[in-house]
């Protein structure tokens, strides 16, 4: 009932969590004071509310409340009324007075007033008088010697007072005292002796005595839905339910049906073994406990219409067999008919989806030979190829969908993209996009092989690229061999050429819209393959696309596109500039390193460029020798791509040509230095020993893409 390691009792009172009296043993606002000398528990930090017990499922706590009384003295004058008994629980954050209480007055000349506060001020009253001829026969609290009335919801403070009644006859014939109190409604039972003597006051009026009163509590303010949205629900047990308190206090938690325990604790709700409690969970047959429930069946050879409440009796075995046979045949027939109906319904649904997704239009294009490279797949083919889209077949998961490895019936390996959304307004536009993508014929763009249109969101089938993404090549493994600068520039150039082709070489230019290292696959011999066109847009020549919703990846997003919703081919240039930075720095688009924790790579790079210290951010594995000038040229190209204004950025064609020129120029320079180094080695045979390489030779070989061991210091000239 309590938190592990915390005391669960104060005297005889069980203290369940969220309540507790040791530090760290209670939820904030639910502390209890335990007087160990008297073994008494009190609600909150003071001793105004002595606790009798808690009810977790009902959200109640029973406490002791003192009564208020006023007596007439012996001279038949009205004495000084008892001081009002105040009860203020506003300092107990989640508590209010339950409507299970009643306001009660006892007396023969009594006018008592109940004052309270919830969201409004509240005043009510109760009046009781006595008649000498009838009081002895009265046993009900209906005004003759006793009066009761209900109280409103959500009272957070209350107190009682008396109005004076000037009469001397009551002091002679009846009890001279009047009493007023709020108590649990089923606790009080009126007795005529209370009006004829001081008996009630003697029983309940002492300093350490009083009447039981019920307080409602909730575990937190707000609603279950609000707590779930904020991930702050106090219902911690797996098998627990959250319930909004109807009077607006907040919410409480209960164990689900079939479970019992404390829903405010992890693993606090445990399965009830109903078979051990036959009085609560009846079973006239064989009882078996299940998780959250139980089963009750008749022993073999007996039967009952309801074995939980009706005893099992023996019947004719033949009649039972006949009955079972008839039922079995009926079930089989129903199952066959239902299966056929479901198949027809599924076929109609697939036909509808195929039609809505533009299937007839694409089919006509194929028949007219406008499209000859796209296959139309059935959903069963792709389910079989991906083992029903099994998680073990996942190649990657992104914002536009999940890609699976598929093996077709002819053993051809493909990549199957199952999208989560489809950003097309009409079927004709989607079909036109498939047609254009099918016509992209570039060695550095992943080729579209086909599609499936008989599902809610069309499934696309691409050629399979086996060696992962550029992101994993650069950032994936700290123990990997460094990727040479030549390989990095090769990937950069080929990716730029693919994007330039998309921008210029089709009838309608295609803007990729989500260029990043995760969307560049690595083929054989480090061949770059641009993929994932989920955010792509086809634009008219020399036009822009205004977007209502920005798509892309943080760290790569063009600021002009992000702020003005203006998607152009220069948006791809900006994103490619970030990819270029990943290649020469070895850092991710959003990285944490030293003082630059959680910074964008683009902003950090531009700052280092402006401060003439770009070497501080470059990848140490590719810096050395003649690399500095080369890397400065690449860094300058990246800076141009990252210009805030799109019009100041180069086109993708210019970027591709610049990267190609850098590779050609520096290959020639390094090849010449390689030849000079070899000539120097011949003229000075004592330089390296045992075939060792000089530092210059090592970096030259790296630039040429050769896989050699880095020389030791003792080998260097």
- Phi, psi angles (nearest 5°) of residue 714: -75, -15
Pairing mode, if any, of strands 448-452 and 375-376?
parallel
Catalytic residue from among 133, 173, 410, 514: 514
**Residue 658, annotated ligand binder?**
no
H/E stretch holding 628 reads helix 627-641
Q: What's the rounded Cα separation, in Å, for the pair 141 and 125?
A: 15
DSSP β-ladder status, 537-538 and 590-591: unpaired
Verify whether residue 514 is a known catalytic residue: yes
Angle at 449 between CA 444 and CA 455, to 5 degrees: 130
Beta strands in 118-264 (DSSP E): 121-129, 146-150, 157-163, 177-184, 211-217, 240-244, 251-255, 259-261
- Give φ, ψ of 621 to 5 degrees: -75, -15
442/446 Cα distance (integer angstroms) = 8
Smallest Cα–Cα separation from 70: which of 82, 61, 58, 59? 82
The CA-atom distances, in angstroms, between 393 and each of 92, 404, 407, 413, 419 are 55, 5, 10, 12, 15
> Residue 134 class from Cβ within 10 Å (0-12 exposed, 13-18 middle, 19+ buried)?
exposed
3-state SS class at 492? helix
Name the token pair of 443: 């060695």
End-to-end CA distance of the chain: 77
**DSSP-assigned letter for residue 45:** T
CB-CB contact of 161 with 115 (8 Å):
yes
> Tokens 């028949």 — which residue?
367
Taking CA 608 as the corner, what is the angle to CA 602 and CA 610, rounded to the nearest 5 degrees? 100
Q: Is 455 exposed, middle or buried (0-12, 13-18, 19+ CB in 10 A)?
A: middle
Question: Could you give the C-alpha distances from 590 to 128, 331, 494, 555, 593, in angstroms and in order?
Answer: 78, 60, 24, 6, 10
Contact 194, 175 (CB under 8 A): yes
Helix axes 627-641, 569-585, angle to 10 degrees: 150
Token pair, residue 353, equals 């989806």
> Is residue 192 within 8 Å of 55, Cβ to Cβ?
no
Annotated binding residues for ATP? 417
Residues with catalytic annotation?
Answer: 514
């Amino acid at each position: 009932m309590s938190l592990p390691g915390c005391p669960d009792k104060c005297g005889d009172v069980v203290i369940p969590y969220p309540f507790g009296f040791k530090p760290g043993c209670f939820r904030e606002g639910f502390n209890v004071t335990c007087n160990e000398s008297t073994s008494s528990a009190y609600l909150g930090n003071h001793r105004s509310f002595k606790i009798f017990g808690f009810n977790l499922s009902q959200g109640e706590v029973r406490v002791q409340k003192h009564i208020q009384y006023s007596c007439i003295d012996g001279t038949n004058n009205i004495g000084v009324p008892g001081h009002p008994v105040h009860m203020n629980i506003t300092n107990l954050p989640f508590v209010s007075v339950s409507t299970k209480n009643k306001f009660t007055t006892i007396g023969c000349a009594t006018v008592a007033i109940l004052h309270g506060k919830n969201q409004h001020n509240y005043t009510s009253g109760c009046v009781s008088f006595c008649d000498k001829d009838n009081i002895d026969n009265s046993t009900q609290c209906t005004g003759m010697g006793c009066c009761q009335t209900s109280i409103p919801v959500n009272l957070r403070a209350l107190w009682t007072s008396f109005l004076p009644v000037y009469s001397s006859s009551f002091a002679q014939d009846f009890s001279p005292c009047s009493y007023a109190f709020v108590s649990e409604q089923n606790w009080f039972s009126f007795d005529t002796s209370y009006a004829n003597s001081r008996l009630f006051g003697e029983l309940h009026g002492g300093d350490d005595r009083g009447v039981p009163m019920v307080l409602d509590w909730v575990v937190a303010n707000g609603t279950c839905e609000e707590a779930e949205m904020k991930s702050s629900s106090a219902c911690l047990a797996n098998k627990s339910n959250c319930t909004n308190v109807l009077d607006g206090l907040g919410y409480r938690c209960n164990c689900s049906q079939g479970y019992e325990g404390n829903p405010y604790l992890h693993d606090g709700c445990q399965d009830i073994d109903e078979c051990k409690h036959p009085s609560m969970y009846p079973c006239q047959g064989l009882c078996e406990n299940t998780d959250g429930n139980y089963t009750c069946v008749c022993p073999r050879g007996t039967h009952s219409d309801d074995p939980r409440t009706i005893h099992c009796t023996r019947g004719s075995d033949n009649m039972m067999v006949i009955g079972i046979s008839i039922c079995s045949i009926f079930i089989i027939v129903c199952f066959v008919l239902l299966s056929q109906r479901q198949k027809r319904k599924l076929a109609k649904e697939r036909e509808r989806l195929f039609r809505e997704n533009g299937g007839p239009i694409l089919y006509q294009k194929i028949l007219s030979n406008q499209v000859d490279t796209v296959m139309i797949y059935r959903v069963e083919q792709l389910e079989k190829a991906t083992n029903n889209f099994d998680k073990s077949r996942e190649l990657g998961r992104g914002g536009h969908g999940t890609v699976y490895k598929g093996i077709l019936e002819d053993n051809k390996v493909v990549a199957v993209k199952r999208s989560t959304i489809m950003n097309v307004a009409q079927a004709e536009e989607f079909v036109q996009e498939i047609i254009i993508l099918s016509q992209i014929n570039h060695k550095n763009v992943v080729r579209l092989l086909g599609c499936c249109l008989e599902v809610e969101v069309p499934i696309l089938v691409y050629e399979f690229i086996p060696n992962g993404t550029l992101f994993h090549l650069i950032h994936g493994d700290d123990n990997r061999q460094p990727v040479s600068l030549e390989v990095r520039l090769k990937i950069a150039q080929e990716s730029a050429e693919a994007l330039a082709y998309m921008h210029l070489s089709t009838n309608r230019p295609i803007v990729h819209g989500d260029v990043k290292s995760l969307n560049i696959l690595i083929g054989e011999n480090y061949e770059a393959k641009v993929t994932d066109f989920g955010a792509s847009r086809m634009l008219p020549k020399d036009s822009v696309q205004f977007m209502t919703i920005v798509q892309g990846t943080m760290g790569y997003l063009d600021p002009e596109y992000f702020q003005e919703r203006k998607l152009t081919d220069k948006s791809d240039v900006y994103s490619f500039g970030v990819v270029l930075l990943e290649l020469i720095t070895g850092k991710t688009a959003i990285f944490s390193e030293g003082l630059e924790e959680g910074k964008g790579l683009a902003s950090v790079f531009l700052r280092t460029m402006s401060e003439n210290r770009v070497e501080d951010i470059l990848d140490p594995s590719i810096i050395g020798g003649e690399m500095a000038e080369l890397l400065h040229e690449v860094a300058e190209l990246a800076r141009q791509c990252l210009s805030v204004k799109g019009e100041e950025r180069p086109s993708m064609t210019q970027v591709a040509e610049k990267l190609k020129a850098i590779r050609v120029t520096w290959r020639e320079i390094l090849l010449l230095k390689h030849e000079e180094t070899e000539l120097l080695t011949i003229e000075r045979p004592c330089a390296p020993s045992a075939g060792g390489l000089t530092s210059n030779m090592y970096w030259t070989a790296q630039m040429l893409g050769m896989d050699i061991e880095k020389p030791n210091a003792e080998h260097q000239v």
